Amino acid sequence: MAKQPAKTAAKAPKKASAPKTKAKPTTPSIQKVSEDVLKVLLALDLGGSLQADIVWCLGSYRHDSNPSGLLEMMEKSLVLLTEEKQKKTKGIPAKLILDIESVLKSR
pTM for the full model?
Answer: 0.74
Indicate whether 16 belongs to any domain: no
Indicate whether 17 belongs to any domain: no
Type of residue at 99: D
Closest of 24, 44, 33, 34 to residue 87, by C-alpha: 44
HSE toward the beta carbon, residue 53, CA cutoff 13 A: 15
Indicate whether 99 belongs to any domain: yes
Mean pLDDT of 3-30: 69
Q: For 57-91, how does the pLDDT look when each residue is reduced to its tens digit (9 = 90+)? A: 999 999 999 999 999 999 999 999 999 999 987 88
Indicate whether 36 belongs to any domain: yes
Number of folded domains that form the chain:
1
Indicate whether 100 belongs to any domain: yes
